[in-house]
Structure 1
């Protein structure tokens, strides 16, 4: 496997997933190290010239007006000790790796003034699989510095780390990985932690998941249209050219491709319920929200968002607010609402499929009829899942209090906005699993139905994990099994091969 080479630009959300989930190695070009060295020289010269530099020769936050006397390098260790305030369960290793890689990518853009040897040590830490134990609670989105402190502490052999599947003191993990602790120069501690890398890394992973869930949702929706004999004139490209809103043309095309066949079947209705008829609009809005969130995340991944910022070419060190991620938080709040809307439509289609009988389907999708419960008990499950999604769709980015004696009187709550969005994706995928199960059952109960090649592959993929319901059985276990396949990357209907032909 080829390593991911960092040049200081062009890092994508897929790169974050490759490093965080598949342990891809990271390499850095010599030009990045040279850029870091140039910025470090500018920083040192500014400090030597007597400039007040936040976090180098001044205190932080409310202590801004306090000068740092004596050993400014030692102050960096004090700075880290004083901000080790995160609490709660440790973040999963993939999110820690995502945060580490996100911070490396940001630092590679230049502007931090971080010592090159500290940067190289952080890259080595990631490549060696030494993962700081990072508590999950403590950031309000004005930079993730309280959480990021765990990474800096491991680099200087303090705190705990996870190595080879075991939690241990960082000093032991470094020794076992044959890595040496680093010595921090002035501002190095602040440069390591004063960034929104936890939010950005987790956001990248959430977006990768949202993209795969969207593809699965499109597949489930196409199978539902087949099962109900839906009127597919709603996908006519001319309709979406007439109102080219929010990526709905792309959403309609994806559904057209999935339903494409030599002879189009006659629709059974003039107009279907809105959860079917408006799918291009609903899915298109979600595509646009994903695209916007991707832009926000990838700006952060490739930006120098440090405070203070070293402008090496201009030989300046300036204070900034670039660590503040209002646009990132807003993007994930918007994405959460778009996911909730899409999930609500999926739940509505599930109710249509499993109700009293529509378009020639038997009541509750039960082949034995009578007192059979069929799929109808899962309507409660779908409703409960949707309630969880709707609850998490409530915005949080305005929920903050002034801290640090009013110096930090605004926050973005980006980590919370990203975390609840990721949780919504998990729940949304459960609804997709339910819709796939119901649509596949409806297909099996419709006599004489011939599926399109792509929807036939989707139906076969469902049946590889969930058998047809011929008599009542506990369907919750089937729903769990199909959700696990969707979530773990083992869902591979031969759709792409069909669409490429």
Structure 2
């Protein structure tokens, strides 16, 4: 009886989180990862408790889990305690039938790094999606600015063979190559520029390292998601229980700080391309991409929005994991701050998505001024996709709804889906070039 009270008190006292709750979707992911760890059999939890957690997951009965309060050492104690509190019938619970209502099992339920890992996994998935689509949007911008595709030559990238760089250059070639998908907008033979700006010709180098960063972070998180991170750990075949440090969140914390830094650069370089689209001194396009500039502001302020998001990201990219505050009477004298690393990585990715949504709007608006000429077949599909949800900008209107519509296309990966058949076609027709550059079909897509 005393042991039961001790366990319950531990969950209650550790339920000390603050701030808004995780969404039901994120809480469900958190519960799934917790079940996955406990099911490995090293956590000392009873089978009955595990079965109840599975039943709660299947019924989408989810605890109220505040997003703030973890330092990422001794696991995500506060969030996981709130997760366990609801399962004990205390605190608040969410279900599809009732929404949030008042809820009417010890240490094994509250150690571990699943809060960091669950939010981190979402950040990685969204980062992968936006990184792919950033290449498509940048290629469209290059087209509307009448840039050259010479910087994406296969031999250029073969002599600096970073996998991500090779991958991005290949994507640009597949989207811009006139032999297969002729463009009426650009003419390589009459190209007048000496060299394009870095934000155009250096996309393989800048976008490329984002791809390589994501691959590294994905490896770390895949390992973390499938690891036993509780304390103590039970090894029944040896008949022993060991208190150790697998709960420490340094691995995912460091990786997610790295993810934020790597992916942010997609927004930073995108904002520079938006500037080029809007600034008539940097293009042959009307100021702020609108015909009647005196009467209409056009894309002037939406570029400011992109700049504001990039500026916020600069602060958010300061690594959380370089900080450590001693807690728990100096027993937890080094902590990872992984919870904050995960939350801000997600926020950085969201900002990147929104900046690229703005560039997509601007690039398609710029294409209006080249009509009736058409760009390459895959990029025309991107234009048609956007125009299915956002009409051309003929005079000023509320821009926020347009940004949200474009953002939703990116969240659903519609832009990527629109060009993928053409990229597959290009890959098949250039198989001998791909083989010579050691670029695998898996890497291409």
* Match in the other structure for 2:101: 168
* Match in the other structure for 1:9: none
Mark the runs of 5 or more structure 2 residues left unpaired by the alignment: 426-445
Task: Indicate yes or no: 2:9 matched with 1:74.
Answer: no
The 8 Å contact of residues 158 and 170 in structure 1, kept in 2 or not, is answered as yes
- State how far apart, in whole Å, the 2-side matches of 1:128 and 1:384 are: 41
**1:199-210 aligned within 5 A:** 199-210=116-127
- Shift of the 159–473 alpha-carbon distance from structure 1 to 2, 3 Å rule, reads closer
Deviation at 1:422, TM superposition (A): 0.7
* Match in the other structure for 2:167: 250
**1:451-470 aligned within 5 A:** 451-470=375-394
The 8 Å contact of residues 111 and 247 in structure 2, kept in 1 or not, is answered as yes
- State how far apart, in whole Å, the 1-side matches of 2:129 and 2:84 are: 33
* Match in the other structure for 1:408: 332
2:130 aligns to what SS in structure 1?
Answer: helix
1:247 aligns to what SS in structure 2?
Answer: helix
Residue-by-residue CA offset, 1:352-393 (whole Å, 9 max, x unaligned)? 011024453233322345665332232222211211121211
- State how far apart, in whole Å, the 1-side matches of 2:35 and 2:327 are: 28
* Match in the other structure for 1:431: 355
- State how far apart, in whole Å, the 1-side matches of 2:4 and 2:333 are: 29
The 8 Å contact of residues 106 and 300 in structure 1, kept in 2 or not, is answered as no
Count of equivalent residues: 416
2:72 aligns to what SS in structure 1?
Answer: coil
1:377 aligns to what SS in structure 2?
Answer: helix
Task: Indicate yes or no: 2:132 matched with 1:215.
Answer: yes
* Match in the other structure for 1:259: 176
* Match in the other structure for 2:17: 86
Residue-by-residue CA offset, 1:220-262 (whole Å, 9 max, x unaligned)? 1111111112111111121111112362111211222222342
Task: Indicate yes or no: 2:363 matched with 1:446.
Answer: no
The 8 Å contact of residues 460 and 493 in structure 1, kept in 2 or not, is answered as no
- State how far apart, in whole Å, the 2-side matches of 1:261 and 1:490 are: 23
The 8 Å contact of residues 130 and 353 in structure 2, kept in 1 or not, is answered as yes
Task: Indicate yes or no: 2:64 matched with 1:95.
Answer: no
Deviation at 1:268, TM superposition (A): 4.3
Deviation at 1:280, TM superposition (A): 0.6
Range that drifts further, 288-297 or 342-351: 288-297
Task: Indicate yes or no: 2:128 matched with 1:196.
Answer: no
**1:349-428 aligned within 5 A:** 349-368=273-292, 372-428=296-352
- State how far apart, in whole Å, the 2-side matches of 1:283 and 1:229 are: 20
Select 1:159's aligned residue among 78, 91, 99: 91
- Shift of the 194–366 alpha-carbon distance from structure 1 to 2, 3 Å rule, reads same
The 8 Å contact of residues 248 and 283 in structure 1, kept in 2 or not, is answered as yes
Select 1:226's aligned residue among 122, 130, 143: 143
* Match in the other structure for 2:404: 480
- State how far apart, in whole Å, the 1-side matches of 2:317 and 2:98 are: 34
Which of 1 and 2 has higher RCO (CA within 8 Å, sep 6+)? 2
- Shift of the 268–328 alpha-carbon distance from structure 1 to 2, 3 Å rule, reads farther
| TM-score with structure 2 setting the length | 0.88
Mark the runs of 5 or more structure 1 residues left unpaired by the alignment: 1-69, 172-183
1:219 aligns to what SS in structure 2?
Answer: helix
* Match in the other structure for 2:40: 109
* Match in the other structure for 1:133: 64
2:254 aligns to what SS in structure 1?
Answer: helix
- State how far apart, in whole Å, the 2-side matches of 1:78 and 1:476 are: 48
* Match in the other structure for 2:258: 334
Deviation at 1:165, TM superposition (A): 4.0
* Match in the other structure for 2:49: 118
- State how far apart, in whole Å, the 1-side matches of 2:83 and 2:304 are: 44
Deviation at 1:103, TM superposition (A): 0.9
2:256 aligns to what SS in structure 1?
Answer: helix
- Shift of the 155–121 alpha-carbon distance from structure 1 to 2, 3 Å rule, reads same
| TM-score with structure 1 setting the length | 0.78
Task: Indicate yes or no: 2:77 matched with 1:145.
Answer: yes
Task: Indicate yes or no: 2:424 matched with 1:500.
Answer: yes
- State how far apart, in whole Å, the 1-side matches of 2:397 and 2:101 are: 46
- State how far apart, in whole Å, the 2-side matches of 1:461 and 1:165 are: 37
**Cα RMSD (Å):** 2.1
The 8 Å contact of residues 132 and 416 in structure 2, kept in 1 or not, is answered as no
- State how far apart, in whole Å, the 1-side matches of 2:274 and 2:283 are: 14
Deviation at 1:71, TM superposition (A): 3.7
- State how far apart, in whole Å, the 2-side matches of 1:351 and 1:469 are: 17
Deviation at 1:468, TM superposition (A): 1.7
- State how far apart, in whole Å, the 2-side matches of 1:245 and 1:158 are: 52
- Shift of the 102–281 alpha-carbon distance from structure 1 to 2, 3 Å rule, reads same
- State how far apart, in whole Å, the 2-side matches of 1:315 and 1:495 are: 57
- State how far apart, in whole Å, the 2-side matches of 1:493 and 1:464 are: 15
- State how far apart, in whole Å, the 2-side matches of 1:283 and 1:492 are: 15
**1:311-326 aligned within 5 A:** 311-326=235-250
The 8 Å contact of residues 382 and 415 in structure 2, kept in 1 or not, is answered as no
